[in-house]
A and B are shown apart, each in its own frame.
Chain A
Amino acid sequence: MSAMPDRGCTEQATAVKLVRSARGQREVFCGLTGIVWLHRKIQDAFFLVVGSRTCAHLIQSAAGVMIFAEPRFGTAIIDERDLAGLADVNDELDRVVEQLLSRRPEIKLLFLVGSCPSEVIKLDLGRAAARLSRSFEPRVRIRHYSGSGIETTFTQGEDACLASLVPTLVTSERRQLLIAGSLPDIVEDQFRRLFAAMGLDAVAFLPARRANEFPEIGPGTDVLLAQPFLADTGRALTERGCRLLTAPFPFGAEGTTAWLKAGASAFGIGEAAFDDATRDARSRAEASVARYAPELSGKRVFFFPDSQLEVPLARFLSRELGMGLAEVGTPFLHRSHLAAELEMLPADTVVVEGQDVEAQLDRCRAEKPDLTVCGLGLANPLEAEGLTTKWSIELVFSPVHGYEQAGDLAELFARPFVRRLRLAV
C-alpha cells in the first residue's frame, strides 16, 4: 500500500480492516443512471427526469445505443423561462406529464425523478406527484424520488426509487420472504425455484415486473436484500414492520449459499431440506467458478468506487478465486448491511470509502495491480497506460447473482486476461 495522501483523508482502523475515507473529486455516475436498468425491470413504468439538458444527455449516453423509438424514460428539460419565473414550473410540469401520458396510454406507473437542478431550485416533486395523482389515479400511479448527483451516487438511484415505493405498498400480515433489489427476471425465477424446492412458496420481489404486481408487506415479511446499496429501502421496509435478514450477498457459490440460508433459516427450513434443494446448483456453481481459478488466482485487483458492489465482489474474488486485494474502493460503505461481508475479507484489506480520483489514480499506478476494476471514463486511459481493466458497469448490467451466474461472474474478471493473452498486437 503506497502512502500517497488523500485530500481530506481520515483513517479508521477497525479490528480487522483498515477503512479509509476519502474526499475530493469523484469520478462516478449520479443516481439517474439507474433508470437505464429500472425501466427495463418495471415494464409499464415511465421515468420522467425533471432536470436539465445535461441530465437528458447523461441518460442517453449511459444507455449507450439508442435502440428504442420511444423509450420509457425522458427528461422534462427546465429552461430559462421556468427559471426566470416567466412560466410557472408546476404548471409546466403538469402540461408535460399530461402530454406524455396522453401519448403513452400503456404507462401505469410514472416516476417523477428529481435531479441536481430541480433540487437546487427546490422544485417540490412530492407535491407535484400528489397533485398529478389526483388527476391520473387510478389509471396511472405517480411517484417521485431523487436521482440527483448532489444526493445520490449511481446505484443509490435504485435505492431512492425503491424506497419511494415502500410507503405506498399495501399492508399485509402474511408470512413471506421479500427479496429487495432489482434482479434480472431469469435470476428471480432461479431464486423462486430454489426456495420452492425448500418448501417456501411465499416469496415476493421488489420491484415487481408490473405496476399492479407490487407486493403487500408488513410484520410477517422477512427481507433479504439482493443488493448491497439499499440503505434507504432497508430502512423504509423496517419502518413498515418488515424484518431485515443479514447475510452476505448472493455473489459466487459461497455468498449465494449463505444468502439463501439466511432466508431458509428465517422460515425454519432444516439443513437437510436446504442441502437437498441447493446441492446440485451449488456444485455446478463451484465447478464453474473453479474453471477460472487458474487464470485469476494470485493476481491482485484494485477497485475504483462505482456501484457499492465492490466489497461483496472483492470477497468473492478473494475467497473463491484466490485473488489478492490491492484496494477496495466503494462510493459508500453501509457498515451494518455489509457487516458479514467485511468479516469475510482478509484482515489486511484496505477499504476506501469515497473518492479523490487523482490521488487514487496515483495509488493505482504505484500498486500496478494485475486487474483494475473501474468506470468507463477511466478504463481506456488506464489500458493505454498498460494496466488491464474491467469495466465496472458491466457488473451492474449483467446477470451476476446466484449459483447459475457465479461462473459468468468469474468469467467477467478473467476475460481481460484471456484477451491480453490472445492478442499479439
Chain B
Amino acid sequence: MKLTLWTYEGPPHIGAMRVATALTDVHYVLHAPQGDTYADLLFTMIERNGRRPPVTYTTFQARDLGGDTAQLFQDAVSGAYERFQPGAMLVGASCTAELIQDDPAGLSAALALPVPVVPLELPAYQKKENWGAAETLYRLVRSLVTPRPRAAGDATASVRRPLCNILGPTALGFRHRDDVTEIARLLGQIGVDIHVVAPLGASAADLSRLGEADFNVVLYPEVAGPAAQWLKKSCGQPMTSVVPIGIGATREFIAEVARLAGIEPPAHLIGAPSRAAWYSRSVDSTYLTGKRVFIFGDATHAIAAARVARDELGFTVVGLGTYSRESAREVRAAASQYGLEALITDDYLEVEAAAAALHPELILGTQMERHIAKRLGVPCAVISAPVHVQDFPARYSPQMGFEGANVIFDSWVHPLMMGLEEHLLAMFRDDFEFHDKAASSHLGHTSAPVVAAATAPAAAPVEAIRQASPATVPADATAADGVRWDPDAEKELLKIPFFVRGKARRNTERFALQKGVNTISVGTIYDAKAHFGR
C-alpha cells in the first residue's frame, strides 16, 4: 500500500482507452463500476474530442455483485456490438472487476461475434497507463496481423517508393497529433511513403495491413515498443531507434530512415533547415549559456530534452528523471552522460524536493512540475505527459522534426525571458527612478492608484524569487551552513548583475566554508571570485 497525492500515470485501462479512442472503429467493453466513466472526460474535456471514447462500461453496482455480473458483461458486449458495429473489439476489466474475476476473455469468446474480439489482461494493481497502452497495441497487432516472413527482394519493392508505418501516437498523447503531421511530411521529403499510422486514425482493417510495410517508425517507444518488436520478429520489419526530438536527433532519424529504406537522404534535409539552430547561435542567446535545467517526464521526452538542452541550447543539465519505471535503465544511462544520478520515482513530493535542492533556473517537466516550478518561482516549460488542456494548443505545435525544434526553442526560451523580466523587477525595486511607488512612465503622472494595483501582482512572483533564490536573501542573513554576511558584503552582492548573483553567492559561501571564514566581508567576495575565477 502506498500513499499517493498526485499520480503521473493512470491505471493501465486508461492506456487501453487511449489506444481504442485513437482507432476509428474499435470498441472497448470495460467491466467496471459506474465511477470509472470519469475517464471519458479526459478525452472530451482535456483533448476536446468531439466524439465520446468508444467505451462501454458495464457499471455494475453492489446489488449486482450477489447476482450475475458475468451476464451483465456479456449483455454489454453484445449490446455494444449491435449498436456500434465495430471492426474489432477490446474486452477487459478495470481494477474492481479484476477482483471479481469474471473472465472477460472467456465470456466474450462464448458470444462468437463475427469480428475479432481481443481480450486484455491489464493487471491494475501492478501496472500503469503507458504499460496498458503498449500492451493493448501489442495485443491488437498480434491478433490482427498475419505473420509474414519477409522474402528477400520483394517483387513490389523495386517498382514503388519505400513504405513505412508510423507507430505509437495515441489519443491524449503529448503533441502526438502534430508530431504525426510533422514526421509524415519529413518522411515524404526523405522519399518514403506512409502505409499506416497507428493507432491514431487507423481502423481495424488498417492494423491488419501493418505487415505489408518495409519498416516501422517508432515515434513513442513507451507505447509502440512491444508491437514493433513483434512485427520485427514476425514480419521481418526493421524499426527506427531514434526519436526525432531536437535538431541532432532529427538528423540522425533522417539518416536511420534512409538506411532502412535503402535510399540516399536528400542533402538539404541533412543541412537541418531549422531556425532554432541559428537562433541558438545568435548572440542574443548568449545569456542561455550554462542555465541550470532540471528535467523530469516520460523517458522518451526526458532523455530527448536533456540532449536538446545541453547540445542545442547550451544549458547545463543538473537533474534528469522519469516516472516511467519501465524505462529506468535508459534514463539512468542517459543521466550518466551528464554526470548525474537519474531520479526514478512516481512520487511527486520526491520530485519537488529534488528540484528545490538543485536550484535550477529552468524546469522542463510535466504539468506537475509546472506547479512545482510555480511554487519555487522558477520558469518552466512542459515537455511531457501527463497532459493538461493547455497541452492541446489550437495552433500547430509539434515537438518532433525541424519544426518541433523551433517550437521547443520558443517554448523553453520564452519562460526564461519571463524570468528575466521578473528579475529586472526585483533588481529595480529600489532603483531611484523605477522604484515601486513611481508611476509607470507611459501612464503619465496621474495614475498613482492604478500603479499601486498594477505592481501588486508583480510583487508575488518577485517575493517567490527572493525566497527561492539565495542571491536575494535580506541583508544580515545567515547562510544555511552558518556563514554570515556582513551588511556591506550583502550590499556589494546586490551590485553584481542579477543573472550571476546566485552563483556568486553560492561560490562565496562555499569558499568561506572551505577557508573557515565565519563572516563574509566585501574582501571575501573578491577572494572567492579570484579563487573560482573563470
| Interface set of A (CB-CB < 8 Å, partner B) | 7, 24-33, 52-54, 56-58, 60-62, 65-67, 69-71, 73-80, 82-83, 87, 89, 92-93, 95-96, 99-100, 116-117, 119-121, 148-151, 153, 358, 375-381, 383-384
- The chain B residue with its CB closest to the CB of A67 is B371
With a cutoff of 8 Å between Cβ atoms, the chain A residues found around residue B123 in the complex are 80
**Interface members, chain B 43-98 (any A CB < 8 Å):** 44-45, 48-52, 56-62, 64-65, 76, 79, 83, 94-96
- The chain A residue with its CB closest to the CB of B65 is A150
**Interface members, chain B 352-396 (any A CB < 8 Å):** 352, 367-368, 371, 375, 388
Contact between chains at A29 and B95 (CB < 8 Å): no
Cα–Cα, bound, A62→B42 (Å): 10
How many pairs, one residue from A and one from B, have CB atoms within 8 Å of each other in the complex?
180
- The chain A residue with its CB closest to the CB of B37 is A27
Contact between chains at B1 and A30 (CB < 8 Å): no
Given contacts A25-B76, A80-B123, contact A57 B14 (CB under 8 A): yes
Q: Is B445 an interface residue (CB 8 A)?
A: no
Contact between chains at A60 and B1 (CB < 8 Å): no
With a cutoff of 8 Å between Cβ atoms, the chain B residues found around residue A56 in the complex are 4, 6-7
- The chain B residue with its CB closest to the CB of A146 is B62
Cα–Cα, bound, A33→B37 (Å): 12
Interface size on B, residues (CB 8 A): 58
Contact between chains at A381 and B59 (CB < 8 Å): no
Given contacts A116-B96, A376-B44, contact A75 B4 (CB under 8 A): yes
Q: Is B106 an interface residue (CB 8 A)?
A: no
With a cutoff of 8 Å between Cβ atoms, the chain B residues found around residue A33 in the complex are 35, 38
Contact between chains at B37 and A26 (CB < 8 Å): yes
Contact between chains at B38 and A52 (CB < 8 Å): no
Given contacts A30-B35, A32-B35, A57-B11, contact A76 B2 (CB under 8 A): yes
Partner pick for A95 among B1, B11, B57, B94, CB 8 A cutoff: B1
Cα–Cα, bound, A27→B43 (Å): 14
> What are the interface flags for B115-152 relative to A under an 8 Å C-beta threshold, 1 for contact and 0 otherwise?
00000000111101000000000000000000000000
Partner pick for B3 among A31, A57, A76, A87, CB 8 A cutoff: A76
**Interface members, chain B 435-466 (any A CB < 8 Å):** none
Contact between chains at A379 and B34 (CB < 8 Å): no
Besides A25-B58, A54-B10, A377-B44, 6 more A-B contacts (Cβ < 8 Å) are: A58-B38, A77-B2, A82-B1, A116-B95, A150-B60, A380-B48
**Could you say which of A89, A375, A377 has the most chain B C-beta atoms within 10 Å of its C-beta?**
A377
Partner pick for B33 among A80, A87, A150, CB 8 A cutoff: A150
Q: Is B110 an interface residue (CB 8 A)?
A: no
Contact between chains at A79 and B126 (CB < 8 Å): yes
Contact between chains at A89 and B1 (CB < 8 Å): yes
Partner pick for B52 among A58, A71, A82, A381, CB 8 A cutoff: A381
Q: Is B36 an interface residue (CB 8 A)?
A: yes
Contact between chains at B371 and A78 (CB < 8 Å): no
Q: Is B100 an interface residue (CB 8 A)?
A: yes
- Least CB distance from B172 to A in Å reads 11
Q: Is B99 an interface residue (CB 8 A)?
A: yes
With a cutoff of 8 Å between Cβ atoms, the chain A residues found around residue B368 in the complex are 66
Contact between chains at B34 and A381 (CB < 8 Å): no
Cα–Cα, bound, A28→B79 (Å): 20
- What are the nearest 5 A-B pairs in CB distance? A30-B35, A149-B35, A384-B50, A377-B40, A92-B1
Contact between chains at A52 and B1 (CB < 8 Å): no
- Least CB distance from A15 to B in Å reads 29
With a cutoff of 8 Å between Cβ atoms, the chain B residues found around residue A358 in the complex are 79, 83
> What are the interface flags for B17-47 relative to A under an 8 Å C-beta threshold, 1 for contact and 0 otherwise?
0000000000000000111111111101100
Cα–Cα, bound, A72→B206 (Å): 47
With a cutoff of 8 Å between Cβ atoms, the chain A residues found around residue B2 in the complex are 76-77, 79, 96
- The chain B residue with its CB closest to the CB of A97 is B3
Q: Is B530 an interface residue (CB 8 A)?
A: no
Contact between chains at A149 and B34 (CB < 8 Å): yes
Partner pick for B65 among A29, A31, A120, CB 8 A cutoff: A120
Given contacts A60-B6, A99-B3, contact A79 B352 (CB under 8 A): no
With a cutoff of 8 Å between Cβ atoms, the chain A residues found around residue B13 in the complex are 54
Given contacts A69-B375, A93-B1, A381-B50, contact A61 B42 (CB under 8 A): yes
- The chain A residue with its CB closest to the CB of B38 is A58
- Least CB distance from B291 to A in Å reads 25
Contact between chains at B41 and A375 (CB < 8 Å): yes
With a cutoff of 8 Å between Cβ atoms, the chain A residues found around residue B36 in the complex are 30, 54, 58, 149
6 A-B contacts, Cβ less than 8 Å apart? A30-B38, A75-B4, A77-B4, A82-B125, A87-B1, A121-B99
- Least CB distance from A49 to B in Å reads 9
Given contacts A52-B124, A381-B50, contact A150 B61 (CB under 8 A): yes
- Least CB distance from A286 to B in Å reads 35
- Least CB distance from B101 to A in Å reads 10
- The chain A residue with its CB closest to the CB of B45 is A376
- Least CB distance from B58 to A in Å reads 7
Contact between chains at A30 and B51 (CB < 8 Å): no
Cα–Cα, bound, A384→B352 (Å): 40
**Could you say which of A62, A99, A116, A375 has the most chain B C-beta atoms within 10 Å of its C-beta?**
A116
- Least CB distance from B138 to A in Å reads 21
